[in-house]
Structure 1
Amino acid sequence: MSVQAGRPVRVAVLGCGSVGSQVVRLLRDQADDLAARVGAPVELVGVAVRRLDAPREVEVPAGLLTTDAESLVTREDVDVVVEVIGGIEPARSLILAALEGGASVVSANKALLAEDGPTLYEAAAKAGRDLHYEAAVAGAIPILRPLRESLAGDNVTRVLGIVNGTTNFILDKMDSSGAGFTEALEEAQELGYAEADPTADVEGFDAASKAAILASLAFHTRVTAADVHREGISEVSAADVASARDMGAVVKLLAICELIDTPDGQAVAARVHPAMIPRSHPLASVREAYNAVFTESEAAGQLMFYGPGAGGAPTASAVLGDLVTVARNRLAGIRGAGESAYADREVLPMGQTRTRYHVAIDVEDRAGVLASVALAFAEHDVSIQTVRQEGRGDEAQLVVVSHRASDAQLSATVEHLRGMDIVRDVTSVMRVEGEPE
């Protein structure tokens, strides 16, 4: 059902934190432009908050504030609900109530979409309403719409991205200054790039949610956060970063989603982990808290999307872009594209994914050590690309970079090395990306 001619498109906002407050500001400051772009005035009719007296970045008229979010989203006159409160509940229940009540929804909730997106898609389809969520991945960077629409006539084969600004800032600081992880994290917290509890960022949970959303859209297959192999950056050392520098590489936390050929056809693999990439790769130049997503497809080739991946105003920009699209659809009485999961491909476990390893091994300084280490790799059918020896005596170390093999083969090789008498310790294991097989 379309909005009646002559009346405004009415919007309710859930949450008034850093993103919600900027959504409210943009709705107010750009009211005339939004009306021209949508084809009707866009009217803010309510903002649901936890506390009416909490300090806010922008002033919101008291008459618009409410603590009764459920009543707000189920009002008969609300056309679009903007959800920017985050988390699983009550966000899921409120979105479902909004859709059932006849409103379309714009969300920035990556965690909910990655955990239970199909439930939301099915509710939107049943209600004949839109569910848009560009702001859920990479802030202001338009990446979901290109995957869903601009590349709809192409076959996307790989999506490789830096999708968490906190971890990129930390790793960039470690690379540029030689700082350790703890020191770089403390600076990120002082500057406001990292939360007091940075677990979701530094352990890869945030990036894994975004990877699930990217893989689902790129490969037309339902992928949840639980399907994404996840490793964070808390174990990345200054020595790892220095070793990457020595081989002309840089360490980044990457979200990698790709199609892999199997005997039964193509399958999806999705993973998040720190990796060394050549400094010549476009993603290597992404500095500080910026994000970038690199896509590969059969016809378009390689594309890169770059920009601020977080922050109230940048994320609000993506929210408003979705809002304009959804509002136009309401005026026209139509619904945009919904979930596309027709391919229904298998999601492979990490062990079947092909990758490369950089392995630093403290070894005994005696004849035959290199041959024994090479044999351990060969026994697991892993080919060595490069090897170099550093130090002598108690500081003797081998640094090995492998060719591509399954992650299971590489993991087994590392466990084999740890059990060898000539190996004092395997001090570092990191994957290597960005080069062809």
Structure 2
Amino acid sequence: MVAPLRVGIAGLGTVGAEVVGLIERQKRTLSLRCGRSVRVVAVSARSKAKKRNVDLSGIAWAKNALAIATDPKVDVFVELMGGVGDPALSAIEAALRSGKSVVTANKALIAKHGSRLAMLAEKHGGALNYEAAVGAAIPIVKTLREGLAGTGIDRVYGILNGTCNYILTRMEQEGLSFAECLKDAQRLGYAEANPSFDVDGHDTAQKLAILASLAFGTKVNQSAVYVEGISSIAPEDLRAAQELGYRVKLLGVAVKTETGIEQRVHPTMVPRISSIAQVMDVTNAVTIDGEGIPPITLVGPGAGGAATASAVVADIADIARGVRALPFGRPVAKLKATAKAPMRRHEGGYYIRLMARDLTGTAATIAKRLAEQKISIESIVQRHPNGGAASVNGKSQPVPVILITYATTEDAVRRALQAVKQDRVITGRPQVIRIEKN
């Protein structure tokens, strides 16, 4: 008889309680698939008295996470407390130093300390599994690290934040403003009271930094990711995108270029016929472009107790089977340092929305400035507001002009728009959204 795999869990919130319940419900299946049983033997949480919808009888209560991490009767330490520092960090380090394997759903901690923790896992022989940290139930970590181990990756990109995808979906479908949709997302529990971490793109950036490491062998470095959020997106941008054959998504993109690995998070126009464009509401998706294979898109729930617990238990099952993969697919010593790629070097198509003054020569001035930077226009749309009236109460009104460019550099776009602003033929700030082709 093979001894049971003894699991200790620190953190009994929604995910932690779900993990305990899932292991109990699937104990027979896990035993058959893993060749040994899996048993939760210890837990810790801030409050022992809190009511939880899970049976904890027969499971030992530890005084804190560190006690579980150093308990010789625990084989696997599962960290579900969250937080980028202690107590999660010190407990994981203690578990790894003692030779234990670790499973975590903590994206912030992996994004900041992943390389350091991976080195400890290598040195002491334990596993460091974190599938739930990126995309919850979407098996993107295993796909990049193991499933595509023999495939060169050119680009990995995706919708990695359900809150932003929900907001953009509602804005598009109902013509609502960003502020209105954000308020509704908060009411439904999709967005926090302080939503900046999600809507400003930082949650996506943490996940992208992890995916880039897996895809390209770079050290996990969130500071190497260029980040923009979605608060500047207006309903008129989504309407224009639809008319032009695009849809707006907040994407995290990591791509191999001639000058290195470019990592960026920003609102992006994607062709409506693409797989990623079909992903709506709170659903997440990741697309992988690999050498010699068509694009692979994985779609699924990127958050939630059940989805996250599913990934955590799958990581535990790997350990029970004796699977030990290098945390980032390569020895830590072989991971390459990476820096933030200057966005001015970025090349691609652009959507540009200008509020042009209704004056003679305005269009010619805009065209001249674009031509000076060798920017070619794929399409141009000009709309008169107020049902075609060029003025209201005798006062001339700005006219929305929408441009779609062929591939160019960000530097050229910025230079052209700066010149247009100095010419005083537009009002307000130009709206610029990058286009990501299939």
TM-score, length of structure 2 as denominator length? 0.92
Which residues of 2 match residues 221-240 of structure 1 at below 5 A? 221-240=218-237
Q: Residues of 2 paired with 1:218 and 1:180: CA distance?
A: 36
5 Å-filtered alignment, 1:9-408, equals: 9-61=5-57, 64-90=60-86, 91-262=88-259, 267-329=260-322, 335-339=324-328, 340=330, 342=334, 344=336, 346-347=338-339, 348-391=341-384, 392=390, 393-408=396-411
1:298 offset after TM fit, Å? Answer: 0.9
Specify whether residues 51 and 359 from structure 1 end up closer, same or farther in structure 2 by C-alpha distance, changes over 3 A only. Answer: same
RMSD in angstroms over aligned alpha carbons?
1.8
- Deviation, 1:277, is 1.4
1:430 aligned partner: 433
Q: Quick one: distance in 1 between partners of 2:338 and 2:24?
A: 46
Q: What SS is found at the alignment partner of 1:301?
A: coil
- Spell out structure 1 runs of 4+ moving beyond 4 A: none
Does the aligned pair in 1 maintain the 2:219–2:338 contact within 8 Å?
no
Q: How many residues align?
A: 423
C-alpha contact (below 8 Å) 1:14/1:83 kept by paired residues: yes
Give the counterpart letter for 2:19 in structure 1. Answer: V
CA separation in 1, counterparts of 2:262 and 2:326?
25
Task: State the partner residue of 2:393.
Answer: none
Which amino acid in structure 2 is aligned with residue 261 of structure 1? E
Q: Is the 8 A contact 1:268 1:345 kept in 2?
A: no
Report sequence identity in percent. 39
The more displaced of 311-320 and 335-344 is: 335-344
Asked if 1 retains the 8 angstrom alpha-carbon contact of 2:356 and 2:400, the reply is: yes
Give the 3 Å change call, closer, same or farther, for CA 220–249 of structure 1 in structure 2.
same
Alignment check: 8 A CA contact 1:50 1:67 kept = no
| Structure 1 residue 64, shift from structure 2 partner | 2.8
Q: Which stretch shows the higher mean deviation, 391-400 or 314-323?
A: 391-400
Q: Which moved more, 1:417-426 or 1:114-123?
A: 417-426
Q: Give, in whole Å, the separation in 2 of the partners of 1:413 and 1:57.
A: 59
CA distance in 2, matches of 1:300, 1:343: 25
Query: Could you tell me whether the CA contact under 8 Å between 2:369 and 2:416 is conserved in 1?
Result: yes
* Structure 2 counterpart of 1:418, from 382, 396, 421: 421
Relative to structure 1, the CA distance from residue 344 to residue 163 in structure 2 (aligned partners, 3 Å threshold; closer, same or farther) is same
SS in 1 for 2:181: helix
The unaligned stretches of length 5 or more in structure 2 are 385-389, 391-395
Q: Which amino acid aligns with 2:75?
A: D
SS of residue paired to 1:209: helix
Instruction: State the distance in 2 between where 1:192 and 1:49 align.
Output: 23
1:260, distance to aligned residue in structure 2 (A): 0.6
**Bigger shift: residues 233-242 or 93-102:** 233-242
Distance 2:93 2:220 in 1: 20
Alignment check: 8 A CA contact 2:221 2:338 kept:
no
The answer to whether the Cα contact below 8 Å between 1:14 and 1:47 also exists between their aligned partners in 2 is yes
Whole-angstrom distance in 2 between the partners of 1:299 and 1:151: 12
Q: SS in structure 1 opposite 2:48? A: coil
Tell me the alpha carbon deviations over residues 334-393 of structure 1, each in whole angstroms, 9 at most, x when there is no partner: 733343263627542322222322111112223322221122223333332222222134
* CA distance, structure 2, for counterparts of residue 118 and residue 13 of structure 1: 23
Structure 1 residue 427 displacement after superposition = 4.3
Deviations 1:168-198 (A, max 9, x none): 1111011111111111112222222222222
